[in-house]
Amino acid sequence: KQEVTQIPAALSVPEGENLVLNCSFTDSAIYNLQWFRQDPGKGLTSLLLIQSSQREQTSGRLNASLDKSSGRSTLYIAASQPGDSATYLCAVSHNDYKLSFGAGTTVTVRA
């Protein structure tokens, strides 16, 4: 059974600081890995998708890396803003498209 762990569980930083969120998974036979953002009272928004054959993906201030062999992914958010405050979830899928989620990292960016 796939186990996904996210560290830290919570993070509070001043505005402008870079964020580093970690995700680890036990079964390296994944199809892809996705990072989501969850805002209170709202659903999930897909931020980045990394296919198993890729090493990283970038979108604006966001960069996600994937080391499949060691079962790790890292999400970097550059120059954080208060609007980045949310819970960030890491999820891995196998060929059946079912997702296994981590418990999330709750980020607070202080103005």
Residue number, 71 or 102, with CB nearest to other proteins: 102
β-strands 19-25, 72-77 pairing: antiparallel
Determine how many CB atoms are found less than 10 A away from the CB of residue 71.
Answer: 19
Stretch that binds other proteins, among 12-20, 60-68, 70-78, 87-95 (CB under 8 A): 87-95
The tally of CA atoms less than 13 A away on the side-chain side of residue 92 is 24
Residue number, 77 or 99, with CB nearest to other proteins: 99
User: Is residue 51 near other proteins by the rule CB under 8 A?
Assistant: yes
Residues 6+ apart with CB under 8 A from 103: 5, 6, 9
* Contact present, 110 and 12 (Cβ < 8 Å): yes
* Contact present, 32 and 97 (Cβ < 8 Å): no
Q: Which of 12, 98, 108, 110 binds other proteins (CB under 8 A)?
A: 98
Determine how many CB atoms are found less than 10 A away from the CB of residue 75.
Answer: 22
Residue number, 6 or 80, with CB nearest to other proteins: 6
Q: Which of 91, 92, 107, 109 binds other proteins (CB under 8 A)?
A: 91
Residue number, 17 or 65, with CB nearest to other proteins: 65
* Residues at the contact surface with other proteins, assessed by CB under 8 A: 31-32, 34, 36, 41-46, 49, 51, 89, 91, 93, 96-104
